[in-house]
Amino acid sequence: MLTCYISFSQSIKTVITGFTNTEENDYPIQLVISKGYVHYHSADGEKSFVTKTINGYFRFEIMLDKPIDFKLILFTGRGVLKLGDAIWSGEYIPYYYLLMPGDSIHVDASSLKFVFSGVGVEKFYYREELAKIFFNIKQEIFKSSEDKQFDLWDTQLDTGMALLERWRNKMSVITYLRLKADLLGAIEGWGKMHVAALTYGRVSAKEEMRAKKRYEKVMRPKYTLVPNDTVALSDLYLRYLEEKFSMEFQVENFFFKNRIINQEEYITLYYSYLQKKCQQEKCGNSASEQLIGNMLTFYMQMAGINKAMDSCVKDYLVYAKNIESKDYVNNIYTTLTKSLTKGTPVPKMPLNDTLNSYVSLEKYKGKIMVLDFWFTGCTGCKIMAPWMDKVKDHFKNNNNILFINISIDKDMNTWMTSVRKGIYGKGGISLRAGVQGSEHPMIKSFQINAYPRLIIYNKKGELFDASAPSPSKDDKGLPLILQIEAALRNI
């Protein structure tokens, strides 16, 4: 049997073995491991390892010092089999299987149904039962009104907790707490919190009281956990806390208050708020540092390095002790300091034009450059396009401004079709990152993980705004117009 050895640290040997079919040799088996919450806002949140079958058998040996979330992808003669995937189709939380240090799990995939055996197998069968419960009600949830969805999520949570309690005596305390954290994080976070966030995102003055009641309800969860070191390893629970703290911050400081502050004030205020909130909620050092670290990496990637961000990151790097989170924040900070600090020169990396010739943005120095990053199939890009066109129309007689549309489409025909149709914007200069797509050095240096993204350079070819405001139906593009005019004055 071919064995794939994986060592994260010299700790406890953990094993995953499996069987597909005796006639299957050299078929690839892919083990996909989540990098965890620290990489939540990263485009690369998973790590993969591959081995091959011998007479249908495969084996992974992993040295673990903490739990990990994983999925298996089996490429067999009968097609692709997946162990672990999203519980709800169309949602954005990948629900992995949990592997604890010391587990020895055997997966029999010789039939269409996975059969588990070995040490630690109880949580796999719990996971299978949980998936069936959620699958049976998902259509009802997504078709219901928002108020009804809250009731259905509560019902699901009660059912899920009852199921976990039935399995509790067969699990270690650490496994039970981790699975409980995952369950609460998925439902309180992605489920109920998601509905509440959507409500606040489109609330009108007439609906203000209704929205506030929903907010108060979601902020009083039926089940709670003290986020100790075990809970802090739950990606889903930390995502829930992030959403919860973010919504509380927005409600306390902005919703229904008509309060407007600039980007630097916002970052400073939110950083201070998260520090106090983590102390109030007794999150513990590990969870607190991961939550605050992720906030910093998110806004660094969205807005670049301004004075406020520089101050917050340097403060965090002094006191943070969580090595993984600290190193990740420092790596993002170091990378973006070179590319997204105000005044940084425009990058020299070549892009492709519509004739497939190489073009450098340096060519356009002497003009204000408004870079619009997009890709075919991007819903947000399509929604922004008509309002971006209005901004372009506002400056149509100003020869000092260039609108440069940069696509990460790898296929030139796909890109050219989108350019000709104009559904992602009309006019301006059209460029693309070529066959490298999102892996293009410029995209990587900007740490662009969400689209559309607008970046402004001044006439000197110096970075003016690393995350310019996206025009929308609500603002008619006015904030972006004002920012471009400010860039024109920045000589």
CA–chain centroid gap for 397, Å, is 40
Count of C-beta atoms within a 10 Å radius of residue 376 = 19
Cis omega before residue 386 (within 30°)? no
Q: Is the pLDDT of residue 220 over 60?
A: yes
Looking at residue 88, its pLDDT comes to 40
pTM above 0.85, yes or no: no
More confident call, 446 vs 364: 364
Q: Is the pLDDT of residue 90 over 60?
A: no
Those residues with Cβ within 8 angstroms of residue 107's Cβ, 6 or more apart along the chain or in another chain: 16, 17, 18, 19, 72, 83, 114, 115, 116
Contact call for residues 352 and 406 (beta carbons, < 8 A): no
More confident call, 144 vs 102: 102
pLDDT digits (tens, 9 = 90+) for 455-479: 999 999 999 988 888 898 878 899 8
Those residues with Cβ within 8 angstroms of residue 335's Cβ, 6 or more apart along the chain or in another chain: 445, 447
What is the pLDDT confidence band of residue 335, given thresholds at 50, 70 and 90? confident
Where residue 84 falls (left for φ over 0; alpha for ψ -120 to 50; beta otherwise) is left
| Of the listed ranges 8-22, 24-38, 99-113, 163-177, the one predicted with least confidence | 8-22
Contact call for residues 472 and 386 (beta carbons, < 8 A): no
Q: Is the pLDDT of residue 135 over 80?
A: no
**CATH assignment, 351-489:** 3.40.30.10
Residue given tokens 């410029």 in the structure block: 442
Looking at residue 292, its pLDDT comes to 95
Q: Round to whole Å and give the CA distance between 28 and 209.
A: 56
Q: Strand 68-76 vs strand 57-64: parallel, antiparallel, or unpaired?
A: unpaired
What is the pLDDT confidence band of residue 132, given thresholds at 50, 70 and 90? confident
The architecture in CATH of the region 3-120 reads Sandwich (2.60)
Residue given tokens 């117009």 in the structure block: 481
Those residues with Cβ within 8 angstroms of residue 317's Cβ, 6 or more apart along the chain or in another chain: 326, 329, 330, 333
Looking at residue 133, its pLDDT comes to 76
pLDDT digits (tens, 9 = 90+) for 369-423: 999 999 999 988 999 999 999 999 999 999 999 999 999 999 999 999 999 998 8
Taken in order 78, 82, 87, 93, is the CA torsion positive or negative? negative
Those residues with Cβ within 8 angstroms of residue 38's Cβ, 6 or more apart along the chain or in another chain: 290, 293, 294, 324, 325, 328
